[in-house]
Amino acid sequence: MKRALLITLFTLLLDLGHASAQEAKPIYNASKFGIRSDGVTMNTRSIQFAIDWIAEQGGGTLRFWVGRYLTGSIHLKSNVTIELMEGAVLVGSTNPLDYDRLVATNDHALIMAEGVENIKLLGIYNSGGCIEGQGRELGNNCTDLVHKGLMKDKLSNDRVGEGFRLGSVKTWKSTTSPSVMPPIGCVCMTSARTWKSIT
């Protein structure tokens, strides 16, 4: 009886050890992929390459250490975690043309996730790093491109306080510059909170 109990217990411990080993995903430092923390180098392609590569390996964490990482839109993939350590700042580009359009909402965003699962943004709310969108300068640059005729103002109002246009009264709406936005059609996205499903 004791022998059967020990064998069962040993088998159970082996199964638990195997399950936890499967759950543990590798951690990759951003510098491994040539991602620069100088705040000047545009890292969009390097960060996206890292995310794609990690997803192809079955998932893991892309860890950013102290520094300023300039980027345009990045697309999260299933089973990939972005971790910003203390002092790490993900800095959004001030050039509106560095942002991709999110198909589901027809908006632009810094961090995009569409139809993926098991994604995480860590370190943002628990004394870790932060995301700096540079929204004011980005919004001003969007307005500049609208005035030059290079971008269309989908809200028909491109300046704060502009209430009249072509004789019709319009109410002012907020700027349409890119933003950090929640994922669309994703399952189990973890940041400060967890979304089970967003559609």
The enclosing domain of 123 has a CATH number of 2.160.20.10
What pLDDT, on a 0 to 100 scale, did the predictor assign at position 68? 96
Structural domains of the chain, count: 1
Whether 69 is covered by a domain: the verdict is yes
> Which residue is listed with tokens 């892309």?
62
Whether 82 is covered by a domain: the verdict is yes
Per-residue pLDDT of the chain (199 residues), as tens digits, is: 444 433 433 444 444 444 444 468 899 999 999 999 999 999 999 999 999 999 999 999 999 999 999 999 999 999 999 999 999 999 999 999 999 987 777 778 899 988 899 999 888 666 678 999 888 898 898 888 888 988 877 666 545 544 433 333 333 333 344 445 444 444 444 443 333 333 3
What pLDDT, on a 0 to 100 scale, did the predictor assign at position 64? 96
Whether 146 is covered by a domain: the verdict is no
Q: What is the domain extent for residue 67?
A: 25-135+178-197
What pLDDT, on a 0 to 100 scale, did the predictor assign at position 14? 42
**Lookup: tokens for 173:** 């709406």
What pLDDT, on a 0 to 100 scale, did the predictor assign at position 194? 35
What pLDDT, on a 0 to 100 scale, did the predictor assign at position 128? 78
Whether 114 is covered by a domain: the verdict is yes
Calculated CA dihedral for residues 161, 148, 42, 83, nearest 10 degrees: 30
